[in-house]
Structure 1
Amino acid sequence: MGWNSWDCYGTTVTEAEVLANARFLHEHLLAHGWDTVVVDIAWYDPTARSHGYNAGAPLTLDAYGRQLPAMNRFPSAAGGLGFGPLAAAVHALGLRFGVHLLRGIPRLAVDQALPVEGTAWTAADAADRTSTCAWNPDNYGLDHDHPAAQAYLDGQVAQLAAWGVDLVKVDDILAPYHDRAIEGWARAIERSGREITLSLSPGTGLSTARTEHLRAHAQMWRVSDDLWDRWPDVHAQFTRLARWAPHQRPGGWADADMLPLGRIGIRAERGDDRQSRLTLDEQRTLLTLWVMARSPLMVGGDLPTSSRATIDLLATPAVGHVLRTSTHGQEALREALPADAGGGDERDGATAGELIVWTARAGDDDAIRYAAIFSTAAAAVRVRVPLTAVVERPTDPGAVRDLWDSRAEIDVDAGALVLDVPAHGVRWLALRLGA
């Protein structure tokens, strides 16, 4: 659970902006489990701009071809200190610090044949010039048949460890699937002697057949392309998460991508400065689905300037508690809503929607079950959900509470939950089992 700079600042985030979000996280959300701050892509590009990448950018590199923070954006990096001072400031707030890196080695280091530290090889020996990223011009891949490749990775991770980095998000590594690059990163982290969470992206088309390999080498892996503040993006994750939920285990988590909530697009890769275009009910749906599926939660909005309503959602106690303690999250029911249950709109093109029910167990109380009743209809609907779809033993009305709104009324009638669900919305419940 944490904050990532991508949705609000894209390639352009500055040290001051990272610290402002870290302080906000510490003051308002750390108590609810939000404990990680991640600087996303291109922190080493002094010419970074919104809405794209710069071919041939004058990347800031050290003598061994490893990325350094651009000092015009991260002034505390002066004097070769790298991210050490910023990581220390984040740690002083009780938070973890993470950075983004692309698979491979900077082309600039290869073109200049910079040495690989501690070896007689150069970056040109380590590189695979035929392996490039389709959407970013900064790097070549590594030639994992040459020992210079692992030596470069070992040195890069040793530098991250020396700075105090707690998480590294490695991009352009899952689509296509670069198994040897994943193994190389895991090996370098182990050799660094520091516990560093390895997060892999993007997961476009990622198959659950990769689960064992992923679990053996990483702690988080994306299961989709970038997700933005559009209902179709959120809706598409229902099917993906239903497929991945049975594979979730401590130490290895399928990641449904960042939460495009709050103020995003300030200087981002996509769209203009805005509060998230998802309605408040769609935001609840997104958060509830991610939690029930036990996806990592990385909010992408600039926290100090995000709406109070969104911050209140993030601070809802059930979000962190259910994410951390629940087990057996799964899709339990999916069926079409009646044709007159809710009209479609221009955002999803549907004339009706689906009733989707997720269930989970409370890992800290064997008598509690969680149930999320979603409607994908574009208008509010009243639904009737048999209790047998969500609990194995009947419960009484007084033993059911709404996790988003403790004052909400819940009707249990003739063995069924009768609920009003908003458009693209959810009712999130905790139920105590009957005797």
Structure 2
Amino acid sequence: MVDPVAADTTTDQRAPDVLAATPPMGWNSWDCYGGSVREHEVIANAEYLRDHLLPYGWDHVVVDIQWYEPTADAGGYHAGAVLDLDEHGRPRPSPNRFPSAAGGAGFAPLGARIHAMGLRFGLHVLRGIPRQAVALRLPILGTQWTAADVADHERVCPWNPDNLGLNHDHPGAQAYYDSLLARFAEWGVDYVKADDMLVPYHAAEIEAFARAIESCGRPMTLSLSPGTDLSVEHVDHLAAHSRLWRISDDLWDRWPDVRAQFDRAARWAPHAGPGRWPDADMLPLGRIGIRAHGGDDRASRLTRDEQRTLLTLWAMARSPLMFGGDLPSADEWTLGLLTNDAVLRITRDSVGNRRLRRDGDLDVWTASSADGRRRYVAQFNLGDEAVASEVTAAEFGVDADDPATDLWSGAEPTRFGASRTTPLPAHGCVLLAIETAR
């Protein structure tokens, strides 16, 4: 849907010298393919992104976890699986799943193909060093040390068996990350989703990863995961060493998962800005669960009202937007959600984003366009019954005669009024843009 109030794009906050100047937007393989995505599926989603969503700002293609495991499937993680590693203990894509990686090419061919579409290429990586590299005592590139010298057998991921931790008191730990990110740079990686970083908070790990990116010779956006109930006290450290960080565990197509994000987003939204984005997680919309870890092949179980609510909250909080469904299977409804430029404009160009008030199950958020000529008002009903929500012009600093546009319906603007009462369905919302001379 073309934004009826956003024809002028001169106010977009896209500082060219800031990496991730606006919240990253794109596709990630996790929600539909779990750890088992294959090259042809990545390409199909990238081509759909190019053909249908790139003009709206969706430009990242991210291959999620286990791309180095030949036997990865929908059954979860496999302890003891033989991984594809190079001679220095660095993971490389399994050729049985990524044929263009054969002969040691790695992800360079796939990265080049994605770049040729005008898109950015992203990879998932797990904190630490592969157990297999440690057991084989593989040498760390450019050093006299082996993987066994730098492994930490205590600080390991509690949910994935592939890696041991790294002992960052040993200089070989930094050398390993330096070699890993240098290889990612050779492959043309633009975006790195580093997992098992935040709960507990691995400060030394985050700093080592940031240093490795700094020295790799290629700009890369660093995304940190997962962050269930991540404390805001870490915000300065996070902003200094990464560009986005998760504020929750994995979010799935369940209303309780979406509802739980409201308080988290309210805590973190005031800290968002160019190059520093609290991340409310991926969008489990469209067709998901094709080979995901748990669940089944399905259309998102969120109702249409819940889907609009999810996207409205993500926009008002300026969360990154990573679509998790299979794009070639997307229906017209889902495509309409992803191409509503009036809503996406809030993600890329708004300031002062915050929760204004919470009254029981009614949540009210506000933001402004960067030039101050537009106010955004979002009213959410988190309850299980339909209710009416009242707001006033005074609380948003607008005039009663200012025109307001419903950004989801696309209806003609109406006078905002001194007060405005809107019926909201269960788990539903309304999102308004108010043009103001103030």
TM (norm. structure 1) is 0.93
2:405 aligned residue: 401
Q: How does 1:216-255 map to 2 (within 5 A)?
A: 216-255=240-279
Q: Distance in 1 between the 2:217 and 2:94 partners?
A: 26
Q: How does 1:260-339 map to 2 (within 5 A)?
A: 260-336=284-360
How many corresponding residue pairs? 414
Q: Distance in 1 between the 2:260 and 2:415 partners?
A: 30
One-letter amino acid matched to 1:406: G
One-letter amino acid matched to 1:362: S
Shift of 1:282: 0.5
Shift of 1:411: 6.8
SS in structure 1 opposite 2:153?
A: strand
One-letter amino acid matched to 1:66: R
Q: Distance in 2 between the 1:184 and 1:317 partners?
A: 38
Give deviations 1:332-384, integer Å, cap 9, x for gaps: 02102xxxxxxxxxxxxxxxxx1111100101x32210111111122332222
Determine if the alignment matches structure 1 residue 355 to structure 2 residue 358: no
SS in structure 2 opposite 1:153?
A: helix
Give deviations 1:386-430, integer Å, cap 9, x for gaps: 2223x2131326x110111122785745x1112122221111100
SS in structure 2 opposite 1:132?
A: coil
Q: Which of 90, 93, 105 pairs up with 2:129?
A: 105
Give deviations 1:251-277, integer Å, cap 9, x for gaps: 111100111111000000121000100
Q: Distance in 2 between the 1:163 and 1:130 partners?
A: 31
Q: Distance in 2 between the 1:163 and 1:38 partners?
A: 13
Q: Distance in 1 between the 2:253 and 2:414 partners?
A: 30
SS in structure 1 opposite 2:433?
A: strand
Give deviations 1:274-325, integer Å, cap 9, x for gaps: 0100011101100010111011000100011122201110111123211111
Determine if the alignment matches structure 1 residue 145 to structure 2 residue 151: no
Q: Distance in 2 between the 1:423 and 1:82 partners?
A: 48
One-letter amino acid matched to 1:355: L
Determine if the alignment matches structure 1 residue 370 to structure 2 residue 373: no
Q: Verify the 8 A CA contact 1:411 1:417 in the aligned structure 2.
A: no
Q: Distance in 1 between the 2:182 and 2:343 partners?
A: 35
Specify every segment of 5 or more residues in structure 1 that has no aligned partner in the other structure, as ranges. Answer: 337-353
2:393 aligned residue: 387
Determine if the alignment matches structure 1 residue 58 to structure 2 residue 86: no
One-letter amino acid matched to 2:387: V
Cα distance, 1:40–1:213 mapped onto 2, change above 3 Å? same
Q: Distance in 1 between the 2:380 and 2:415 partners?
A: 16
Shift of 1:434: 5.0
Determine if the alignment matches structure 1 residue 431 to structure 2 residue 434: yes
Q: How does 1:158-173 map to 2 (within 5 A)?
A: 158-173=182-197
Q: Verify the 8 A CA contact 1:275 1:307 in the aligned structure 2.
A: no
Q: Which of 209, 212, 218 pairs up with 2:236?
A: 212
Q: Distance in 1 between the 2:30 and 2:61 partners?
A: 11
SS in structure 1 opposite 2:78?
A: coil
Q: Distance in 2 between the 1:227 and 1:418 partners?
A: 31
SS in structure 1 opposite 2:164?
A: strand
* Deviating 4+ runs (over 6 angstroms): none
One-letter amino acid matched to 2:401: D
TM (norm. structure 2) is 0.93
SS in structure 2 opposite 1:109?
A: helix
Q: Verify the 8 A CA contact 2:289 2:296 in the aligned structure 1.
A: yes
Specify every segment of 5 or more residues in structure 2 that has no aligned partner in the other structure, as ranges. Answer: 1-24
One-letter amino acid matched to 1:405: S
Q: Verify the 8 A CA contact 1:395 1:434 in the aligned structure 2.
A: no
Q: Identity across aligned pairs (percent)?
A: 58
One-letter amino acid matched to 1:428: L
Q: Distance in 2 between the 1:138 and 1:101 partners?
A: 11
Q: How does 1:52-91 map to 2 (within 5 A)?
A: 52-91=76-115
Q: Verify the 8 A CA contact 1:412 1:418 in the aligned structure 2.
A: no
Give deviations 1:188-213, integer Å, cap 9, x for gaps: 00000110000000002210000000
Higher relative contact order (CA 8 A, sep 6+): 2
Q: Distance in 2 between the 1:73 and 1:395 partners?
A: 59
SS in structure 2 opposite 1:358?
A: strand
Q: Verify the 8 A CA contact 2:342 2:407 in the aligned structure 1.
A: yes
Q: Distance in 2 between the 1:195 and 1:59 partners?
A: 28
Task: Name whichever of 64-73 and 310-319 sits farther off.
Answer: 310-319
Cα distance, 1:309–1:269 mapped onto 2, change above 3 Å? same
Q: Verify the 8 A CA contact 1:402 1:427 in the aligned structure 2.
A: yes
Shift of 1:105: 0.3
Cα distance, 1:385–1:170 mapped onto 2, change above 3 Å? same
**CA-based RMSD:** 1.2
